[in-house]
Structure 1
Amino acid sequence: MVLTDVWCSSGGLTPDGSLVQTGGFNDGDHVVRVFNNSCGKCDWVEIPFGLAQRRWYATNHVLPDGRQIIIGGRRQFNYEFYPKASPSEKSYSLPFLLQTSDPKIENNLYPFVFLNVDGNLFVYANNRAILFDYKLNKVLKMYPGIPGGEPRNYPSTGSAVLLPLRVVQGTVAVVEVLVCGGAPKGSFLNAQNGRFDGALNTCGRIKISDPVPNWVMETMPMGRVMGDMLLLPNGDVLIINGGLNGTAGWEFGRNPVFNPVIYRPDNPLTSRFEIQNPTTVPRMYHSTAVLLRDGRILVGGSNPHQYYNFTNVLFPTDLSLESFSPSYLDANSSGLRPTIISPATQTNIQYNQQIVIRFTVPNTVNLNRISVTLVAPSFNTHSFSMNQRLVVLDGGTTTKVIGESTTYQVKTMAPSSNNIAPAGYYMLFVVHQEVPSEGIWIKIH
């Protein structure tokens, strides 16, 4: 049982699969909570002063050495680590968070943080981003501001993903970030006065690995604030939940967006977005979404009120769960879908190890359209999935297994370093013609 307030906290998984949850509100703002189910009947362990600073609306990211960095939070322009290098280790100043903070409403909470393949962190707050060496406490690069200068972080809540990392001969040449949606400047204050501005319908995409990076802007089919962005096993991006007007915060969202959208990053610039069939449940403030091992997306929640309010409000509190099935789960794709035979789930994999995966496919296989992907489990809250990461493994030679009519095997290589894939658990998928198998869990170390 959790005994302290986890409201608007953050978290991530350790390399051994333990869930670490940090911060929250009131008595929970300095607390670290750890849950490890390896013993079968475990309970939460709470560390009352595991954090040096109050963390509320902060962001966690798993680091190559297995620690987690906790960045920002309300009126916290600094970062710290868990676990600590020593009991006396404190927080470290990050002036960039102060520079991107609006004095009227911070607009840079839950910053978007991604581990670059060089071991440094891409940190996006409000409308700007940096490449940050957390070991030396040094900003290595200031990226250009996103065109238009509109805020994208809480409460002008957009979302972001690190696009799939494609490994070729052990390295990743191109690293891209996609930031979508949000609310215009002043929207939070306007919502307080009863005016609900239209959400942003733009996405910015940037190659953070380029020597001279620039944003490329794209237009979504509709505006969206408080939307969740999820990496799918085949490398596409799902954009789901949220509203057409307003901002995050109590009672400040309007006009739910019922249609999910698929973004296909490898398509030509003008044909990347595809509108999906609608749901009927408004998923507004405090809703969530997470990728399941079978390829579906588990969607749940919505609580736009200070207390749980189930009646006589515009959007009642909704504690239901539902699943979204991408088109690769349609019945007409079932003949293309692989089923992994080996290795067994929970297999341990070492860096640079060759992985041999056996799988079956009901129909004829296109040997040139087989890939293997790893997806890191994420911690989703307030429209951002912390630690979300997808790696497309190196090369891969697919052959038919002699004597088996529908069995094939693909040989590929595990990631070469913990900068590409920090140690820990991943879901491994075989993807055939954009249709993924059900995933298996592997542990990289």
Structure 2
Amino acid sequence: MIKSLLCSLSFSYFFSLVTSQVPPLNPAGRQGAWQLLHASVGISAMHMQLLHNNKVIIFDRTDFGPSNLSLPSGLCRIDPSDTVLQTDCTAHSILYDISTNAFRPLMVQTDTWCSSGAVLPNGTLVQTGGYNDGDRNIRTFTPCTDEYCDWIEFPQSLLQRRWYASNQILPDGRIIIVGGRRQFNYEFYPQNIEGKSSGSSTDHIFGLNFLRETNDYQMENNLYPFLHLLPDGNLFIFANTRSILLDYNQNRVVKEFPQIPGGDPRNYPSSGSSVLLPLDDQNEAIEPEIMVCGGAPKGSFTQATQGNFIRATSTCGRLKVSHANPSWVMEDMPVPRVMGDMILLPSGDVMIINGAEMGTAGWELGRGPVTRPIIYRPSNDGPDWRFSVLSPSARPRLYHSSAALLTDGRILVGGSNPHVFYNFTNVEFPTDLSLESFSPPYLSPEYDPIRPQILSLDEKIKYGKSFWLSFSVKDYLTASVLSVRIVAPSFTTHSFAMNQRMVVLKIVGVTTLLPPAPCAYGLSMVGPSTAEIAPPGYYLLFVLHAGIPSSGMWVKIE
């Protein structure tokens, strides 16, 4: 009873006395922490997607020969079109379970090399394209509660070859698939939604001359273009050094933005990365802002093939795309980085992880692994302390590595295979089949007294409608520094986390709950304003208290 009364008083009276700043950490906590989850999962993690049943689907290409993980029950992949091994009894995809740290092999039929993906509103992963016999195929994976769900393949379902394309989920539930090698166009999946498309199949392919203009035919620095859906419903597309605003419903370029300063390309194989910074739905006018970091100077690919590894780009650019006359604001990272992954953290900060200091993406073309992640704080004033350098991993993560945010706030990291085949000996950077997790500083046990724990919530959220959750905090609640945000898990490959977005929700009210739940509170909130701000589907919801996030809980926006 005394504990419950104290918690109630801490909200109603003491919150004004409690600092809104996060308490200082000891040096070890400030650096974050790495954990080796598996020395080998049998495959190298080229592609990753977190699913709403707290499992991560991971896959590689199929055309390098056998992996180090057998398919179950004597199953084999028979593929006469495979360029290396036509009968292959090993797995090239796994399903990793966060809660048990276990994994099982999955069966993928055709080549998924350098493919793309997005999750439909119902939670099904749609994976598009690849190489060779898989370049026009669609594969789906629907999460299940047993151990039998697997990939389902739909041959020749894409209208064009999609190798190094990018995907974005749209407000109406469709997926737009943009570009790919020598593809200056885009298409949709599904192709037909009432009122959206009609006519012959060729009517469903939409030319985009911007991709032709930004294509360097030697380097092709517009592959895996950066896509971000904006709150006005238009699509921001960044390729090479240029960016546009596309009205995909009218197939019309609405605006072209200034080129990013410096003239250095940022897309594959120069392989920088990009995020849409958190959207604050508490304000009537949302100012979307794009961030692009890292990459390789022009000509780096050619130089690297000749054994000359040029220092990567150290600059980041931020662009407020809704301004009447937007311009890039540039900052320098602590170290240059190519092939880095940018991941939005529940705190609203950006983590940049993996990559190299020199060279480019491509077989054997990167040097100087950057093993220390950095955190960028978009809201901080003063360029001298926006970036924090964190604890290093013992494992280089170069070409074909990936990273993904997990439900509990950790970052899952895997992959790195800069070789044509799996190669573990007599090379500078052996193929890496391991999985690690990185715990950012906000997961330090020192923050446990102020860390929120979600007790219950509405699992289905309607646009613009109020909903409710309850949570607890061990220590005094500082009501003025509460925040709730939803995060869309990304499809991550080749340094770009497709479909990644964060929306800060509007809090209507906070109440203290009565016993028996000690230190428990209720929050009344409003769902996202529109599907343009948050497309329908599954999101992780986090409660933040003084900048420290709870574990995420799954909600479905519909």
Q: In the alignment, which residue of structure 1 is the partner of 2:216?
A: 102
> Matches of 1:2 and 1:408 in 2, distance apart?
46
Distance 1:78 1:56 in 2: 13
Structure 1 segment 167-186 matched on structure 2, within 5 A: 167-169=281-283, 171-186=284-299
Aligned twin of 2:234: 120
2:420 paired residue number: 306
How much has 1:102 moved relative to structure 2?
Answer: 1.1
Alignment counterpart, residue 12 of structure 1, candidates 95, 115, 118: 118
CA contact (8 A) 1:79 1:91 kept: yes
Q: CA deviation at 1:39?
A: 6.9
Report the Cα offset of residue 353 of structure 1.
Answer: 1.7
2:184 paired with 1:67:
no
Q: TM-score, normalising length from structure 1? A: 0.97
C-alpha deviations, 1:258-306, integer Å up to 9, x for none?
Answer: 1110000000141211111111100000000000000000001100000
What corresponds to 1:79 in structure 2? 186
Matched position secondary structure for 2:372? coil
Which 10-residue stretch deviates more, 271-280 or 135-144?
Answer: 271-280
Aligned to 2:312: 199
1:230-241 equivalences in 2 (<5 Å)? 230-241=343-354
Which amino acid is the alignment partner of residue 548 of structure 2? Answer: V
Report what 1:47 is aligned to. 154
Deviations 1:377-416 (A, max 9, x none): 1100000000000000013422322345410111111001
For residues 28-427 of structure 1, the aligned pairs below 5 Å read 28-38=134-144, 40=146, 41-85=148-192, 88=201, 89-169=203-283, 171-270=284-383, 271-343=385-457, 347-403=459-515, 404-427=517-540
Aligned to 2:15: none
CA distance in 2, matches of 1:59, 1:20: 12
Alignment partner for residue 431 of structure 1, among 544, 552, 558?
544
Cα deviation code 1:110-151 (max 9, x no counterpart)? 000000000000000000100000011100010000011110
Greater RCO between the two (CA within 8 Å, min separation 6)? 2
Amino acid at match of 2:486: L
CA contact (8 A) 1:374 1:426 kept: yes
Contact 2:507–2:523 (CA under 8 A) maintained in structure 1: no
Structure 2 SS opposite 1:368 = helix
Equivalent pair of 1:290/1:380 in contact (CA under 8 Å): yes
1:315-358 CA-to-partner distances (Å, cap 9, x unmatched) read 000010011101000111111111100116xx211111212110
Gaps of 5+ in 2: 1-106, 193-197
Equivalenced residue count is 442
Note the alpha carbon deviations across 1:151-187, whole angstroms, 9 max, x for none: 0000000000000000125x44210000000000000
Q: What is the rounded CA distance, in whole Å, between the counterparts of 2:287 and 2:138 in structure 1?
A: 35
Checking the alignment, whether the CA contact within 8 Å between 2:282 and 2:504 is kept in structure 1 is no
The answer to whether the Cα contact below 8 Å between 1:371 and 1:396 also exists between their aligned partners in 2 is no
Q: Distance in 2 between matches of 1:172 and 1:53?
A: 38
**Aligned-pair distance for 1:42?**
2.8
Q: Following the alignment from structure 1 to structure 2, what is the Cα–Cα distance between the partners of residues 385 and 76? A: 21
For the 8 Å contact 2:231–2:286, the answer to whether it is kept is: no
On the 8 A contact 1:284/1:303 being kept in 2, the answer is yes
CA distance in 2, matches of 1:58, 1:179: 18
Q: Hey, what's the Cα distance between the residues in 1 that align with 2:222 and 2:332? A: 23
SS in 1 for 2:204: coil
Distance 2:507 2:124 in 1: 31
Percent of aligned pairs sharing the same letter = 57
Distance 2:258 2:110 in 1: 40
The secondary structure found in structure 2 opposite 1:168 is coil
Instruction: Report the more deviating stretch, 36-45 or 301-310.
Output: 36-45
2:439 is matched by which residue type in structure 1? S
1:264 & 1:245 partners in 2: Cα distance? 25
Aligned with 1:188: secondary structure? helix
When the two structures are superposed, what TM-score results if normalisation uses the length of structure 2? 0.78
Q: Deviations over 1:243-267 (max 9, x none)?
A: 0000000000001001110000000
Structure exhibiting the larger radius of gyration computed from Cα positions = 2
Decide whether the 8 Å contact of 1:369 with 1:433 is kept in 2: yes
Aligned to 2:20: none
Aligned mates of 1:120, 1:381 — CA distance in 2: 23
Paired amino acid for 1:53: Q
Q: Which runs of 5+ in 1 are unaligned?
A: none
Partners in 2 of 1:327 and 1:42 — Cα distance?
A: 36
User: In 2, Cα distance between the equivalents of 1:176 and 1:130?
Assistant: 14
Which range moved further: 353-362 or 16-25?
A: 353-362
Alignment partners' CA distance in 2, 1:395 and 1:362: 21
> What secondary structure, in the 3-state scheme, does the structure 1 residue paired with 2:224 have?
coil
| 3-state SS of 2:319 partner | strand
* AA of the residue aligned to 2:124: S
- In 2, Cα distance between the equivalents of 1:75 and 1:385? 22
